[in-house]
Amino acid sequence: MNKAIFLDRDGVINVERGYTFRLEDFVILPDLIEVLQTLQQKGYLLIIVSNQSGVAKELYKQTDVEILHNYLQNEFTKNKITLSEIYYCVHHPDVTRCICRKPDSLFVEKALARFNIDAKKSFFIGDKERDTDAAEKAGVKGILIEANISLKTILNQIF
């Protein structure tokens, strides 16, 4: 079985600034590339799980999300980082109901099954309780961090 690191996007991968949907506002956090390379070298699959409710609220379009994710994929590829998947929920409870929005665990469970991941050897790093709630519902250990900090600060919780 595989092991994985699940990552929230805004505040963990890139600078949290509210609704981030323009490329010029998308800033990858310092040390992120180095930390993800280390995690990958230790045998972890890397998977992003993100709520993008601005789509449901019509603040931006799903194509805006895709542009950011394509940019992110390209930056990671340049640095020899492989993302297994980026899952994102475009719903918001004020607009539409779903089971994919964190704190629900649909995307985590989907990844566990799809990539044959051992939940007990995996971690979900997020800056909101809904991230760790989604992790724990799926049997994955959640690591709650402060938004916009270096992931180097929590590596000791993983290995």
Catalytic-labelled residue, pool 10, 64, 127, 133: 10
d(CA 75, CA 72): 5
| Catalytic-residue membership of 8 | yes
Catalytic-labelled residue, pool 8, 64, 127, 133: 8
- 123-126 vs 141-144, strand pairing mode: parallel
Place of tokens 């469970």: 109
d(CA 33, CA 79): 7
Give φ, ψ of 62 to 5 degrees: -60, -30
Q: Omega before 103 cis (within 30°)?
A: yes
Q: Which two tokens stand for residue 134?
A: 């989604």
| Catalytic-residue membership of 25 | no
HSE-up of residue 122 (Cα within 13 Å, Cβ side) = 28
Catalytic residues: 8, 10
